[in-house]
Amino acid sequence: MLDINEISKILPHKYPFLLVDRVTSLTVGESIEAYKNISISDQVFQGHFPGHPIYPGVLIIEGMAQAGGVLAFKSVADESEFANKVVYFMSIDKAKFRNPVLPGDQLVYKLSVLKHKGNIWVLDGKAYVDDKLVCEAELKAMIVDK
C-alpha cells in the first residue's frame, strides 16, 4: 500500500532511524499494518550483541510508534502538510516483550486506534514475527507543528 519512498514523505525519520519498510494495510482513523525486515547488516547489531544479535526492544517500540505516526498523519493531514508536522511520543504504557527478534525476521507492526481526540492519539500496538506476538504496548502521541 505504501512503499519506503511514500513513508519517507510522511515521517521525518530517515535512515538509519526509519524503522518501517512498508505499509501493507491502512484504514484511515482505525488501524495500520506495516513491517520492517530485520537484517544482520542493521547497524544496531554491531553492539547488540556481537556474537548473539538480538533486535532491541526499544527499537520495536519505536517502529510501532512510527507506524502509528503514519496512521495518524494519513488520517488527519493532507499530503502538503506532512513537511510542517511531526509526531511526538507522549507515553508508552503496558509494554511487554514476549520473544526475541533476530536477524532474518520480518517484524510486523499492527496498531489500532483506542482513542483519538484533536491532535492526541492513543494506539494499541502489537508486533509479530511469523504470527507470533513478540511485543505489545499502548502508545500515546500527538501531532504538532514543527
**Spatial separation of the C-alpha atoms in residues 44 and 39, rounded to whole Å:** 10
The answer on pLDDT for 81 being more than 90 is no
pLDDT at 80: 77
Pairing mode, if any, of strands 31-37 and 106-117?
antiparallel
pLDDT at 51: 95
pTM confidence score: 0.96
Catalytic site includes residue 48: yes
Lowest mean pLDDT among 15-19, 43-47, 78-82: 78-82
Domains of the chain, CATH where assigned:
4-145 (3.10.129.10)
Average pLDDT over residues 29-51: 96
pLDDT digits (tens, 9 = 90+) for 89-106: 999 999 999 999 999 999
Residue among 13, 48, 52, 116 flagged as catalytic: 48
pLDDT digits (tens, 9 = 90+) for 124-138: 999 999 999 999 999
